[in-house]
Amino acid sequence: MAPPFSWLRPEPHGLYITPADAWIDPARPVDLALVTHGHADHARGGHGRTVATPETLAIMGLRYGVVEAGSLPVAYGETVTLRGDVRATYVPAGHVLGSAQILLEHAGERVVITGDYKRRADPTCPPFEVTACDVFVTEATFGLPLFKHPPIADEMAKLLGARENEEGRCVLVGAYALGKAQRVIAELRAAGFTETIWLHGAMERMCRLYEDHGVDLGDLKAVAGVPKNALANAIVVCPPSALNDRWSRRLPEPITAMASGWMRVRQRARQRGVELPLIISDHADWDELTTTIAQVNPAETWITHGREEALLRWCELTQRKARALALVGYEDEDD
């Protein structure tokens, strides 16, 4: 008999499911890919067949121009059976629109691959569901005990407060174009902000896609061609890379804000020239990571990407069996 879980093999560019000849979030084109969510470090184009939620497939279609003829949509809670008697069930991960954990079942063993996830409420996607399993493959982007994301209402109050305090200036919020931007906008709406929110050109199509999937983002308009004075005291959302670039010169003395879990560390905010750090992340913070491992309570925890050492140490201190997988290609500098 094969040793436990030997049917799932960590390779440098993804997790390989041997009996199904399929990959999870592969970093290069393969015949059969199971994709957890639409961020570019997990979802790449060019696969023969892609299995993902309908939302993730739509995002991939938008980003890569074509949806492969062989794409196979799987709704939350649905199970597909792959070759070699491997069953894959897609479970909400609470990370971004369409994001899923993938539960794999084979030979009486259950493995959950989280992809990226968070435990906080998010108006743009259904919440993470705790799923019992033998092996829990978790991310560790914010896997250091110093990362504690504050309640998002606090950060929204900071953002709206900055806008009111600086007459004539606009607040420019750098936010990841997929997920973070829409979540910030939806949270602003939830906080009662009804004015137009202005968008960098790179944000527009993804926001429309969210709206097409039933996420209400209120009145959105593109900044392009709008005179400076029309943007006084406005809130403008752009990708983080545009924060300090030439593009921002068209705005009235922007207060540069950045919505990211990294903003918890002053020096990170300073390095990016951010005046208003907003600690908002779509990843689990330290307490969420450790609480989730405790709730799932697997026989083994595999840690994929981020700051694995600290989470490994925590598992050691709490007498949990754990190992770090050396997967390449997952970067999340801007989340």
User: Which residues bind to another protein, rule: CB under 8 A?
Assistant: 144-146, 148, 244-246, 248-249, 264-267, 269-270, 273-277, 307, 309-310, 313-314, 317
Tokens in use for 293?
Answer: 């491992």
Helix/strand/coil (H/E/C) assignment for every residue in 231-287: HCCCEEEECHHHCCCHHHHHCCCCEEEEECHHHHCHHHHHHCCCCEEECCCCCCCHH
The residue among 219 and 309 lying less far from another protein, judged by its C-beta, is 309
Q: Which is nearer to another protein, 53 or 138 (CB)?
A: 138
- Nearest approach, Cβ of residue 201 and another protein (Å): 17
C-alpha 317/C-alpha 102 separation (Å) is 28
> Smallest gap, in angstroms, from Cβ of residue 120 to another protein?
18
- List the alpha helices (DSSP H) in the chain: 54-64, 152-165, 180-190, 204-212, 266-271, 286-296, 308-317
Residue type, 49: R
* CB 91 to another protein: min, Å: 30
Nearest-approach distance from CB 136 to another protein, in angstroms: 20
* Cα–Cα dist 36/248, whole Å: 33
Q: What are the b/e assignments for 146-157, b being 16+ CB within 10 Å?
A: ebebeebeebbe
Count, residues in the chain: 335
Which residue's CB is nearer to another protein, number 190 or number 294? 294
Nearest 10 degrees: Cα torsion 279, 285, 291, 294: 170
Give the side-chain half-sphere CA count within 13 A for 251. 27
Among residues 194 and 267, whose Cβ is nearest to another protein?
267
Of 104 and 223, CB closest to another protein: 223
Residue 302 or residue 314: which is nearer to another protein going by CB?
Answer: 314
Q: Which is nearer to another protein, 167 or 246 (CB)?
A: 246
The least CB distance from residue 144 to another protein, in Å, is 5
CA 114, CA 308: separation in Å to the nearest integer?
15
Q: Does residue 162 contact residue 257 with C-beta atoms inside 8 Å? A: yes
How many CA atoms lie less than 13 Å away from 132 in the CB half-sphere? 0
How many beta carbons lie within 10 A of that of residue 191, not counting itself? 14
Give the nearer residue to another protein in terms of CB position, either 69 or 317: 317
